[in-house]
């Protein structure tokens, strides 16, 4: 993990200098025109596309705000969360940090270490998608300004490969299983997924299966322990779908030790027919797929499962991630932090990110020259019903238990019933 110090020397007249707090409609006097803030950001430094997009955003921000400097640390995947948790425990959080709208970064938001952004945001809530403005704290707090609305389950499909194999997209789980031998006989992977981090199976697949198996009414009662629980047949059925797919060699070989990104590479290189991941993967697909490939890649959801009680074609969806600020910031430093938060998730940063494949939470018209993958993701998010993402409604420790047990279940060390029982006992004791 590297530290990048972005220094911009500026000469400004102190007299009359003011920092405009975007979104508040007021000017805040600044004694020192140069403000330096520490930032911990979520960036994959091994991904050239991710790095290039990040640098475009930084350059655009500094063109508008030459008086604000950043000392930046980068983190990604589980390494980011491990370090953020250590910073939180030590009381040494940066001024600006990348946060989740739920318990994924609850060690920061639930402990009072992130500032409520509503004083700066007031009056501009209607400029965002409705789901993005859902409360993140018990009293309606907004701790991070969502960059996008996130569908965590998408079944990306190579329609050309399907056609060459004489197949159509399956209507049911059983039809998909029947395709497995045909796809493998052609030397291809049926469903590309990597689960080395553990969270991928839970967030991008199981969360959608839970709504499919039980429906939202049951899902909400199970979360509350209201005459329903995660020991019920509905949750066991969702787990059983995962186990069936694994036992029938439908997933990528070695998926439970694979680094995040291998499955994407297999799909881009057309070594896999299907690819299950989150909608955020469109950012990479915009850059890595050829124009011809983009024409025959579709965004779908998992087919219907046996005894399905939930919604046909549903996904799992949550308000997106975004930047928040340390609760200790006050005055010009807090206003400077807000400048970055608003730039990133507000109209300017959203327009930049939209050009690179994002579907922002900020309401923007889709440009006429938008990339085909962006158009497809926008339609997917607008038209697809959704249930909860498990890690958006349950805590990090619960997810740690479930994610490890999912891996053990696939490897044969636990049954779906055992996983469900252990998960329910933990949720009942620690969450409700």
Smallest CA-to-CA distance from 423 within 202, 209, 253 is with 202
DSSP lists the bridge partners of residue 41 as 74
CA distances from 205 to 64, 76, 131, 183 (A): 41, 21, 21, 21
For residues 4 and 74, is the Cβ–Cβ distance under 8 A?
yes
Average pLDDT over residues 276-285: 93
What is the Cα–Cα distance from 231 to 226, expressed in whole angstroms?
13
- DSSP letter assigned to residue 363: -
Give the model's pLDDT for residue 224.
93
Query: CA angle 122-125-126, nearest 5°?
Result: 135
Mean pLDDT of the chain: 90
Give the model's pLDDT for residue 337.
98
| Token pair of 264 as six digits | 């994407």
Give the model's pLDDT for residue 17.
34
Q: Is the pTM of this model over 0.75?
A: no
Give the model's pLDDT for residue 18.
36
State percent of the chain over pLDDT 90.
Answer: 75
**pLDDT tier for residue 316 given thresholds of 50, 70 and 90:** very high
Residue 26 predicted with pLDDT over 80 = no
Average pLDDT over residues 146-171: 96
**pLDDT tier for residue 356 given thresholds of 50, 70 and 90:** confident
For residues 208 and 315, is the Cβ–Cβ distance under 8 A?
yes
What is the Cα–Cα distance from 100 to 280, expressed in whole angstroms?
14
Give the model's pLDDT for residue 104.
82
What is the Cα–Cα distance from 240 to 242, expressed in whole angstroms?
5
Residue 308 predicted with pLDDT over 90 = yes
Residue 226 predicted with pLDDT over 90 = yes
What is the Cα–Cα distance from 267 to 263, expressed in whole angstroms?
6
Q: What is the pLDDT of residues 61-103, one digit of tens each?
A: 999 999 999 999 999 988 999 999 999 999 999 999 999 987 7
Smallest CA-to-CA distance from 212 within 153, 282, 134, 256 is with 153
What is the Cα–Cα distance from 358 to 284, expressed in whole angstroms?
10
What is the Cα–Cα distance from 244 to 258, expressed in whole angstroms?
20
| Token pair of 328 as six digits | 């200790």
- DSSP letter assigned to residue 101: S
- DSSP letter assigned to residue 318: E
Give the model's pLDDT for residue 21.
41
CA atoms within 13 A on the CB side of 306: 13
**pLDDT tier for residue 327 given thresholds of 50, 70 and 90:** very high
**pLDDT tier for residue 283 given thresholds of 50, 70 and 90:** confident
Return phi, psi of residue 343, to 5°. Answer: -60, -45
Q: What is the pLDDT of residues 33-50, one digit of tens each?
A: 799 999 999 999 998 888
Average pLDDT over residues 257-267: 95
Give the model's pLDDT for residue 382.
80
Average pLDDT over residues 260-279: 97
DSSP lists the bridge partners of residue 362 as 128
Give the model's pLDDT for residue 357.
67
**pLDDT tier for residue 396 given thresholds of 50, 70 and 90:** confident
For residues 374 and 357, is the Cβ–Cβ distance under 8 A?
yes
Cβ burial of 368 (10 Å; 0-12, 13-18, 19+) is: exposed
**pLDDT tier for residue 16 given thresholds of 50, 70 and 90:** very low
Residue 315 predicted with pLDDT over 90 = yes
CB-based contacts of 353, cutoff 8 Å, min separation 6: 53, 57, 147, 148, 360
Q: Give the full edge-to-edge strand order of the sheet including 386-387.
A: 149-151, 315-319, 386-387
Domains and their CATH numbers in the chain: 3-146+321-360 (3.40.190.10), 151-317+376-430 (3.40.190.10)
State percent of the chain over pLDDT 70.
Answer: 92
Average pLDDT over residues 228-234: 98
**pLDDT tier for residue 167 given thresholds of 50, 70 and 90:** very high
Give the model's pLDDT for residue 49.
82
Smallest CA-to-CA distance from 260 within 78, 81, 52 is with 78
Average pLDDT over residues 285-301: 96
Residue 20 predicted with pLDDT over 50 = no
Average pLDDT over residues 243-267: 96
| Token pair of 365 as six digits | 């018209």
Q: What is the pLDDT of residues 202-218, one digit of tens each?
A: 999 999 999 999 999 99
């Amino acid at each position: 993990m590297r530290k990048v110090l972005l220094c911009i020397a500026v000469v400004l007249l102190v007299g009359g200098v003011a920092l405009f707090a975007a979104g508040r409609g007021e000017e805040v006097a600044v004694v020192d025109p140069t403000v330096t803030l520490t930032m911990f950001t979520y960036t994959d430094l091994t991904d050239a596309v991710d790095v290039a997009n990040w640098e475009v955003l930084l350059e655009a921000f500094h063109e508008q705000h030459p008086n604000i400097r950043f000392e930046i640390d980068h983190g990604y995947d589980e390494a980011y969360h491990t370090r953020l948790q250590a910073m939180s425990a030590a009381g040494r959080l940066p001024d600006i940090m990348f946060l989740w709208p739920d318990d994924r970064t609850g060690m920061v938001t639930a402990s009072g270490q992130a500032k409520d952004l509503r004083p700066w945001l007031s009056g501009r809530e209607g400029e965002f998608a409705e789901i993005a403005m859902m409360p993140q704290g018990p009293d309606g707090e907004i701790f991070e300004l969502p960059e996008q609305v996130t569908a965590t389950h998408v079944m990306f499909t190579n329609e050309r490969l399907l056609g060459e194999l004489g197949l159509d997209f399956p209507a049911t789980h059983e039809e998909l299983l029947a395709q497995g031998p045909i796809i493998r006989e052609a030397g291809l992977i049926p469903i590309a997924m990597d689960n080395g981090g553990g969270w991928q199976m839970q967030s991008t697949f199981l969360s959608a299966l839970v709504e499919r198996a039980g429906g939202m009414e049951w899902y909400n009662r199970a979360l509350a322990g209201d005459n329903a629980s995660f020991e019920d047949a509905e949750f066991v059925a969702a787990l059983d779908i995962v186990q069936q797919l694994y036992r029938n060699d439908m997933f990528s070989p070695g998926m439970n030790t694979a680094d995040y990104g291998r499955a994407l590479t297999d799909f881009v290189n057309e070594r896999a027919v299907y690819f299950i991941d989150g909608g955020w993967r469109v950012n990479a697909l915009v850059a890595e797929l050829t124009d011809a490939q983009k024409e025959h890649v579709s965004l779908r959801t998992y087919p219907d499962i046996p005894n399905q009680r939930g919604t046909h074609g549903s996904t799992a969806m949550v308000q997106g991630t975004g930047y928040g600020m340390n609760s200790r910031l006050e005055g010009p430093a807090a206003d400077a932090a807000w400048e970055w938060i608003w730039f990133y998730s507000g109209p300017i940063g959203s327009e930049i990110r939209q050009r690179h494949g994002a579907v922002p939470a900020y309401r923007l018209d889709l440009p006429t020259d938008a990339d085909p993958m962006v158009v497809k993701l926008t339609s997917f998010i607008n038209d697809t019903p959704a249930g909860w993402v498990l890690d958006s409604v349950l805590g990090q420790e619960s997810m740690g238990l479930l994610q490890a047990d999912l891996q053990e279940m696939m490897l044969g060390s636990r049954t779906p019933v055992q996983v469900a029982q252990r998960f329910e006992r933990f949720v009942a004791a620690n969450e409700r």
